[in-house]
Amino acid sequence: MAGQSRSPLQFFPYLTLAAFLVPVLLGLAGTWLPALGYLPTIGAKSFTLQPWRDLLDHPSLPGALSATLVSGLSATLLSVFISLWITTHLYKTASWSYIERALAPLLAIPHAAFALGLSFLVAPSGWLIRLVSPWLSGFAHPPDWSITGDPLAISLTITMIFKEVPFLLLLTIAALNQLDVRRTLWVGRSLGFQEFKVWTRLIIPQLYPMLRLPVLTVLAYSLSVVDLALIIGPSLPPPFAVLIDRWFNDPDISMRLVGGAGATLLFLLITVFITIFLLAERIVVMLSRPLLTNGRRRSPLGRMNQGARLAAITTMAASVLSFVLLVIWSFTGSWRFPDAYPQSLSLFYWTKSLPLVAGPLATAALVGVLSACIALVLVLGCLENERSLPQSRIDALSRGSIWVIYLPLLIPQIGFLFGIQTILVRLHLEGSWFSLVWIHLVFVLPYIFLTLAATYRTYDQRYAQVAAILSGSPLRSFFRVKLVMLAKPILFSLAVGFAVSIAQYLPTLYVGAGRFSTITTETVSLAGGSDRRVIAVYALCQFLLPFLVYALAIGLPALLFRNRQLMKN
């Protein structure tokens, strides 16, 4: 039985690997060759280290690197800290169910839209200051405060934290479902341990290994973010990824060589910091070992529920207010400082834009559904195939394959895509549905893997075995019992993948050859303009798709399994 069902599954790891390795390797070559001075189109045919010299001589490099490292590292560490803080203090309290329900809509807000809303909230001419001006603040004109775009990248760091905390909380919840938290807490409490102590000593050590990859994703993302940095990041100098992006679009095409060198340097930096993170993790484990067994039952930190609640509320309030402000702007006629509300309202941009966004919405939805579904099939195939392997090989494989799967998230998109574009053009494949869905797949698959693997691997296989025995067919058991029991995490990972696809701007642009306009390409090109009203309408339309899909992913299992008590958890 096992032999028969295994054979087709064997191909999945290879298929998945191919789906990844081909574009990733081409992309890397397309980045590394220019970095070494080889880009025949612009007449650069000799290998030289000149691009590296130009890169290291660039006046903005030191400042850009420090802006990137400070904001990226502090955003990652603080996001991890805050999400664990919220979890340990609020898990299964009255606030917890609100947090759980709020996560999906929070995640559905596109990064750029969130940053636009947030910058209008907190900017010197933003809503918070308008609310108190001039009656309280005395400001007839906005104050000249460095709130958004500050040179220390504090506002960029905070924006990233607001976006990453919900992501980490989501994956924490998924991981906690694998642990028997309730009983662990119960045992710990009965031994006289404060709940906080049970978390830090028993649960987090089990939880963190499952969060390792998401944390590294957050790290890589924070170090290479472009869109958020453009909206709310420092400008003089900008974060390193923005600088690279600029070099790749420089009117002087020889700057693409410097861009290639920069993209390679960023890739190396991300690799180095991931290594440092993994090493630091071991050191923390080593150092904390005596603490874990010192038998102390209470900690003053355990009483900081209020702090955790405040952190949760702030994260949510920032998102909700940013969203509300986008809604208000989309209906605004004119709105001047220091008025707290628009002077005039208008439906103009909605009525005008709705017929125009229908096509781009449909294109985005189709690419999103296709890439997410294909990615899901590949991930399920790989995970099912794992079961047939001995445990030691699974560990080795999952360790190895994870780095491959993560490559697209670790390489700065802009450098990687230029190489892919050249190859696709050579093969006459650019601007086709095939290559567009494929390139989306490359970015969607890691996230689907990320959100599904942990849950999937800890599925109690005995259910499937019993079902196989009863139904006489492993296939039927898989589809009718295992998939159904895992419907909730599967649908959720599908929604995450769909949302990731919707957010892709540069891949769509580079591979789509201008043949495909999605809601995101339309929104990003307008976001480069000045009119907040029309940007708000487009950003809300962009939010609509992931929001609907998240709602379906959560609502559908709840509806289908409303009569099955045990599946509600």
Partner 1 sequence: MLRSTVFIPVLIVCTLFFSTSHGQTPDWEEITRKAGGQTVYFNGWGGSDPINDYIRWAADQVEERYQLHVRHVKVSDIGEVVSRIVAEKSAGRDQGGSVDLMWINGENFNTMKQNNLLQPPYSQLLPNIALVDTENKKSTLYDFTVPVDNMEVPWGMAQLVFLYDQALMDTHPRNMMELLMFAKEHPGRVAYPLPPNFHGTTFLKQALLELGAEKDPLFKPVSEADFEAVTAPLWNFLDQLHPYMWRRGTAFPANGSELKRLLADGEIFIAISFNPAEASNGIATGELPDSIRTYVHDSGTIGNSHFLAIPFNASAKEGALVFANFLLSPEAQARKSDPAVWGDPTVLAMDKLSPEDKALFTATPRGIATLSAEELGAVLLEPHPSWVEALEKSWLTRYSR
Contact partners, residue 347, CB within 8 Å, separation at least 6: 331
Structure tokens at 461: 């296989």
Residue choice 509, 539, 549, 553 for contact with partner 1 (CB under 8 A): 509
Residue choice 141, 212, 296, 393 for contact with partner 1 (CB under 8 A): 141
Structure tokens at 249: 């679009």
Does 386 participate in binding partner 1 (rule CB under 8 A)?
no
Q: Which of 219, 246, 90 is nearest to 160 (CA)?
A: 219
**Which positions from 69 through 108 interact with partner 1, judged by CB under 8 A?**
none
459 near 486, Cβ under 8 Å? yes
Does 431 participate in binding partner 1 (rule CB under 8 A)?
yes
**Cα 137 from Cα 88, distance rounded (Å):** 39
Cβ 309 to partner 1 shortest distance, Å: 34
Residue choice 6, 111, 246, 387 for contact with partner 1 (CB under 8 A): 246
Does 151 participate in binding partner 1 (rule CB under 8 A)?
yes
Tell me how crowded residue 396 is: count the other CB atoms within 10 A of its CB.
12
Residue choice 28, 33, 36, 39 for contact with partner 1 (CB under 8 A): 39
Cβ 358 to partner 1 shortest distance, Å: 14
Does 524 participate in binding partner 1 (rule CB under 8 A)?
yes
Residue choice 9, 15, 63, 277 for contact with partner 1 (CB under 8 A): 63
Does 300 participate in binding partner 1 (rule CB under 8 A)?
no
Does 250 participate in binding partner 1 (rule CB under 8 A)?
yes
Does 513 participate in binding partner 1 (rule CB under 8 A)?
yes
Structure tokens at 234: 């420092």
The 8-class DSSP code of residue 238 comes to P
Structure tokens at 157: 């760091």
Burial class (CB in 10 A: 0-12, 13-18, 19+), 347: exposed
**Cα 510 from Cα 515, distance rounded (Å):** 10
Does 299 participate in binding partner 1 (rule CB under 8 A)?
no
Does 401 participate in binding partner 1 (rule CB under 8 A)?
no
Check residue 203 and give left, alpha or beta (phi > 0: left; psi -120 to 50: alpha). Answer: alpha
Identify which range of 6-14, 384-392, 489-497, 523-531 contacts partner 1 by CB under 8 A. 523-531
Give me the torsion for CA of 61, 67, 69, 73, rounded to 10°.
Answer: -170
Residue choice 8, 10, 14, 42 for contact with partner 1 (CB under 8 A): 42
Does 123 participate in binding partner 1 (rule CB under 8 A)?
yes
Does 230 participate in binding partner 1 (rule CB under 8 A)?
yes
448 near 406, Cβ under 8 Å? no
The 8-class DSSP code of residue 333 comes to E
Contact partners, residue 124, CB within 8 Å, separation at least 6: 142, 143, 144, 145, 147
Looking at the Cβ atoms of 365 and 534, the one nearer to partner 1 is 534
Cβ 61 to partner 1 shortest distance, Å: 10
Task: State the angle between helix axes of 532-560 and 94-108 in degrees (0 to 180), rounded to the nearest 10.
Answer: 130
- Residues 464-503, mask of contacts with partner 1 (x by CB under 8 A): ----------------------------------------
Burial class (CB in 10 A: 0-12, 13-18, 19+), 216: buried
Looking at the Cβ atoms of 76 and 520, the one nearer to partner 1 is 520
**Which residues contact partner 1 by CB under 8 A?**
39-42, 58-60, 62-63, 123-125, 141-142, 144, 146, 149-151, 230, 234-237, 246, 248-253, 256, 333-334, 336-337, 344, 346, 349, 418, 421-423, 425-426, 428, 430-431, 509-510, 513-515, 517, 521-522, 524-534
